[in-house]
Amino acid sequence: MISGGMLTNTKMREARITAVITRADGTVEELGTLTYWHRNPLRRLAWRIRQHLIGRKA
């Protein structure tokens, strides 16, 4: 199931895409944040560094 929406004609400051899998037996598996974008390039860089330090592929 895909949930969420998209706003148009707005100035975006931040966006992130997260994933959650719900299996047929009812178990829920959270995959976490798949991608992150921020208007400020320093914030994007800081997010990528944090992801690298905790061992996730950014």
Say what the pLDDT of residue 56 is: 75
SS (H, E, C) 30-43: EEEEEEEEECCHHH
Place of tokens 């966006």: 15
Say what the pLDDT of residue 4 is: 63
| Contact indicator for 37, 46 with CB cutoff of 8 Å | no
pTM greater than 0.85: no
Rounded Cα gap, residues 5 and 2, in angstroms:
9
| pLDDT, tens only, 9-51 | 678 889 999 999 999 999 999 998 888 999 999 999 999 999 8
